[in-house]
Chain A
């Protein structure tokens, strides 16, 4: 009789164990499927937001264009005003394409090799820092006096880093113009880019209301105007 009881008890306990692990597993599996679906949903939501924003911007821009066309064609603006409009447009384009010195609020970041001799600063470190700055809204960036444009390369060559076809070396000074507090907060957040770089280099960050970024100098090295054939 006693053996019978023991067997029964063992059996129940085994079943209990199996049920327990099964339960654990289904919950795990369900959670996985749920997160996958959740991610897909987030994905679609993000795309939707992107499209909505794009459309809003386009609508605004189209309205703006209509106003501009009307304004331009109306008799209310005379010749000198129209020439002034062209002048303003060119000035804006010069600022946008990096052909003027610009000034604004921003940060100055100094990068120096850390204590370890082997830890020289890599091109990818600078690329990453610059990309983070852009993500926070930096509108103009320069590295060691070289204004960074869309077609500026940052490439390591021996002990130098080549930017806009010009050799520069450590220490690096990165300037960025945007809201200085936002910029500083974004790069110095815990686990952010500064934490990451500080593992093997010295960083100094300074906020300023008057960051001056020089215009591009060697535009022939950056732009390839022969290849930029307008499509019509």
Chain B
């Protein structure tokens, strides 16, 4: 009888002991979360956002400078070569112009379509399906090209011969730059044809099915900027084959 009494006592003691431990644990985790990590993180984010804004402002200035320099250089070159008054050189100049237009190194303007895609607002059963993936963008672009788009950009990043569109965490990498959703795809081409066929395409209905927002807009005039970076990273390993 005496042993049972002690066992009972011990069980009660153990239960209360554990209760106490959990109580403090619960309190502590709630407290530490509230006043430590939370505030630290949001102030860290603020700091980064401020830095980001500074960099963006600088980017604007640098782009303006770049534009001016390129224009100056271009003008002085053209002026010089034209003054040579040589038919061969005229031909070279027009070849240069065409090549630049083909390869995305010229700002182009024309009618076209703007496609905006955003992650689903309400997450359905499967989180993965509610988010935009690299292949979704690749497939949309492929539809644009099938319908004879002449120039394409994604979030203002010109789509070039070697452009990759690849998921990297919550962002997508294009021309080695990282962009979060939403994605704005601009295409110059026959607006009616592209619009109609895009609306009919499998990929668009698939995305809409999963709750991903896809907006397609026809425009009379879209300007697509040239690629303003250096193209070295896209040709550094290519050697011309010597003709034999």
Contact = CB atoms under 8 A, between A and B. Distances in A.
B45 interface: yes
A41 interface: yes
Contacts of B170: 39, 42-43, 46
Given A61-B229, A228-B101, A155 B29 contact: no
B162 A5 contact: no
Interface string A115-137: 00000000110011001101101
B80 interface: yes
Interface in B61-78: 62-63, 65-66, 69-70, 72-73, 76-77
Q: Main SS of chain B's interface residues? A: helix
A57 B231 CA distance: 11
B162 A139 contact: yes
Interface string B29-44: 1100100011001101
A69 B77 CA distance: 9
B8 A5 contact: yes
A77 B63 CA distance: 28
A130 B12 CA distance: 67
Given A95-B235, A96-B234, A37 B164 contact: no
A53 B169 contact: no
A150 interface: yes
B171 interface: yes
A139 B230 contact: no
Contacts of A140: 161-162, 238
Given A95-B235, A134-B162, A227-B189, A89 B96 contact: yes
B208 interface: no
Contacts of B65: 58, 62
Q: For chain A, what secondary structure do more than half of its interface residues adopt (helix, strand, loop), or is it mixed? A: helix
Contacts of A155: 142, 146
A104 B238 CA distance: 6
B30 A51 contact: no
Task: Pick the most buried of A46, A148, A154: most chain B CB atoms within 10 A of its CB.
Answer: A46
Contacts of B129: none
Given A223-B102, A227-B150, A230-B108, A42 B142 contact: no
Interface size band for A: 35 or more
A35 B104 CA distance: 39
Interface stretch (B52-60, B113-121, B211-219): B52-60
A13 B15 contact: yes
B19 interface: yes
Contact of B99 (A93, A105, A154): A93
Interface in B192-244: 223, 228-231, 233-241
B69 A69 contact: yes
B52 to A, nearest CB: 5
Most chain-A CB neighbours within 10 Å: which of B18, B177, B236?
A: B177
B197 to A, nearest CB: 12
28 contacts: A20-B22, A43-B171, A46-B180, A47-B52, A48-B55, A50-B177, A57-B230, A58-B59, A58-B63, A62-B69, A64-B230, A65-B73, A69-B76, A73-B76, A90-B99, A95-B235, A101-B240, A102-B240, A103-B238, A103-B240, A103-B241, A124-B135, A127-B138, A131-B135, A135-B166, A139-B236, A179-B237, A227-B110
Interface of B: 8, 11-12, 15-16, 18-19, 22-23, 25-26, 29-30, 33, 37-38, 41-42, 44-45, 48-49, 51-52, 55-56, 58-59, 62-63, 65-66, 69-70, 72-73, 76-77, 80-81, 84, 89, 92-93, 95-96, 98-110, 134-135, 138-139, 142, 145-146, 148-152, 159-166, 168-171, 173, 176-180, 188-190, 223, 228-231, 233-241
Q: Which 10 A-B pairs have the closest CB atoms?
A: A227-B150, A97-B103, A51-B55, A231-B109, A134-B164, A224-B150, A101-B241, A93-B99, A135-B166, A231-B107
